[in-house]
Structure 1
């Protein structure tokens, strides 16, 4: 199955679903370029925010993972603040063709609720969590969510 065939299939399957926490759309002129909007999970400092992801799908997909970056700035230990790069095993060595773009976005959404501070791309966020300063981390993450993710204060 070619990447294009797989992506068309995923787009059809996704368009039939009624899931609210992840919104996916393919670029009209290039099916290898997608955009996702993630709704910040409840009971997190990201709650109420809308976070945009840029997804580039290589020709070898689904044998290799998509390239996914946050376009919305986010204060999170597993996201590089400047580039939006995401540190998540399924985007690297743990990828499997069983993953879809939607399930990949769901995994990124889960990471927003359950950070892994021991492998940080954002050392400031990772250090706050490793030091046990949950209040400080939540305050910073919330401040950035209000600033960049359309959260009302």
Structure 2
């Protein structure tokens, strides 16, 4: 566990914790930040996890008993070391908290990552078969449904146009009803 303040802001500390042994986080290094209020140590810090861990959402204030979400449970004697030790224990806990991912979310993320790896492997094998002139035995390639940024922009534009048309119709109905 290591934590240091930013040179430009003594109230913002960045930390690195190493995943505990015999846990899903073993071998991982997790980066986050602590934002201390000016009233520290009498008020608790905000805690953020910046590295994806499967337990906490990235760059989201964490709702922990040692964070500013629960100032009533804060103890001014707690140090940065105590806070990070508490964070490690919350990483190992299964109960959901604000800013955390449910286990099923983590499982879904891992499943999606494995599917993407399999799809990449299938694509590589398919490319190799095509390069050799062998297209009859190439596996069927499954690709996730990815939408491009352009199609998202078009959809957003259509939503705005439909909303504007709806607002115009409402305005027309209201003004024609007054005449």
1:140–1:122 distance in 2 versus 1, CA, 3 Å: farther
For 1:122 and 1:30, the matched residues in 2 are separated by: 27
In the other structure, the counterpart of 2:11 is 32
Post-superposition Cα deviations, 1:31-53, rounded to whole Å, max 9, x if no partner, equal: 11111000011111111111011
Do the aligned partners of 1:41 and 1:112 also contact (CA within 8 Å) in 2? Answer: no
CA 1:120–1:88 in 2, change beyond 3 Å: closer, same or farther? same
- How far apart are the structure 2 equivalents of 1:30 and 1:121? 24
What is the match of residue 28 of structure 2? Answer: 49
Largest Rg, 1 or 2: 2
For 2:94, the equivalent position in structure 1 comes to 115
> Of 97, 102, 106, which residue of structure 1 is paired with 2:76?
97
Deviations 1:31-89 (A, max 9, x none): 1111100001111111111101111111010111011100112211xx3x254332211
1:37, 1:50 within 8 Å by CA — same for their partners in 2?
yes
Q: By percentage of residues, which structure has more helix? A: 2
Q: Tell me the distance in 2 between the aligned counterparts of 1:88 and 1:111.
A: 8
CA contact (8 A) 1:52 1:71 kept: yes
The alignment covers a number of residue pairs equal to 109
Query: Match for 2:63 among 75, 82, 87?
Result: 87
What is the RMSD of the two structures over their aligned residues, measured on CA atoms? 2.7
Q: In 2, distance between residues paired with 1:33 and 1:41?
A: 25
Unaligned runs of 5+ in 2: 114-179
Counterpart in the other structure of 1:68: 47
- TM-score, reference length from structure 1: 0.61
Structure 1 counterpart of 2:133: none
**1:58 aligns to what?**
37
Query: CA–CA distance in 2 between the matches of 1:47 and 1:57?
Result: 28
Between 1:26-35 and 1:52-61, the stretch displaced more is 26-35
- Specify which structure has the bigger relative contact order, considering alpha-carbon pairs within 8 angstroms and separated by 6 or more residues: 1
